[in-house]
Every structure is written in C-alpha cells, then in structure tokens.
Amino acid sequence: MLRNKKVPSMVKDPQLIKVRRAQMVKGAVRLFIDKGFHRTTTREIAKEAGFSIGTLYEYIGAKEDILYLVCDDIYLEVSKRLKKQLSKEGSALERLKLAIHSYFQIVDDMSDEVLVMYQEVKALPKESLQYVLQKEKEMASILEEIIRECVEANELNVKGDEVNLLAHNILVQGQMWTFRRWALRKQYTLEQYIDWQTDLLLKGKG
C-alpha cells in the first residue's frame, strides 16, 4: 500500500502548518487556473498567498508539493464524506443516493481545485502520481461498497464488473460538473444536476 506523501516543513506547529498551507493552496489554485502549473513561479504563489518566498519554503520543499496538497485535500474530503454513508441508518439505496449527493456537492465546493488537479496532475513526480491514482481507486472502492450493499438488499440490479463501472461512472459524472461548468451552470442548478444525474446513473438498475 502506498503511504501518504510527507511534505517537508521547517515549522513544527501542526495548526500553523495547516493554516499556511491552506493559504498557499488557495493562492496557487488561482494562478494554476490562469497560467498553468509550469508557468507559475513559487514567488508568484507566495505573493498570492500573502507572504514571502522564504516563508513559503518553510512549509514546502518544492512547487510540486503544492499540487500534491491540492490533490490530497480533495481526496481526504471526499473520503471523509463518503465513508459517513457506510455507517448511517436507512436503506442502502438511500445511502447511495446520499453518497452521490455528497460527492457532487464536494466537487462543486472544490471545483477550482478539482479542475487544477486533473489538468496538472501529470506534473507530479512519479511516486506522488501513483499515490493520487491510488486515492482515485480508493474513492471508487467506497462507492462500490455502498453499491454492493444495495445489490445484497435487492435494491439494485447490478452484477459483477458493473459494480466497479457504476462507481467510476458516478465519479466521472461528478467531475463533469467542473469540466463542463462553462456550459452546465448556465442551464442547471447544482440540485437539478444532482437529481437528474442520479436518476440517469441508477435508471433501469432498480
């Protein structure tokens, strides 16, 4: 199993590290969207975040670390919210629908981060890229677990490899809200998008 990458820091205060890195990520995402990862300098990121280049390097070791932090923040939030549906009461199908809603809501909340992650993830070093891809599989596996509970409860008619495919379809349709936001957000509210995509994803599987 791949371990969580440890981003180097000269600062020992965990809370301060969390705050400074959040500022760093927020500023970097804006720049990555406007200029791309490779054309953005660490000096520009420091300025956008509101501190000096020297301060920036107290919390990271290289520019790639910031992109890694963006990716990791997304996966941690997604995993946290999806796993809540594994222990909740109610039917398995109700929990699957809530999981879909939670995931789509996260994509909306973190739409800039999601866009940057998928546009620039190729810039990560090999080890970090493998970690990010592993996290993607883990998100799918959480959804698979809920889908299988639906199947076992006879609430969904999904067989074999279709379980894995449905989980990945849910992930992709959520991401589409970000990738096609220039068009979709002109036509649909988030709630409309979630309701209609949920119906399409589960149509004919009941």
Condensed to tens digits (0 to 9), the pLDDT of residues 190-203 reads: 999 999 999 999 98
Model confidence at 2: pLDDT above 70 = no
Instruction: Say what the pTM is.
Output: 0.85
The DSSP secondary structure of 76-144, one letter per residue, reads: HHHHHHHHHTTS--S-HHHHHHHHHHHHHHHHHHTHHHHHHHHHHGGGS-HHHHHHHHHHHHHHHHHHH
Domains of the chain: 7-61 (1.10.10.60), 64-202 (1.10.357.10)
- Separation in Å, CA 200 to CA 91, 126, 159, 193, 206: 20, 36, 18, 10, 12
Q: What is the pLDDT of residue 67?
A: 87
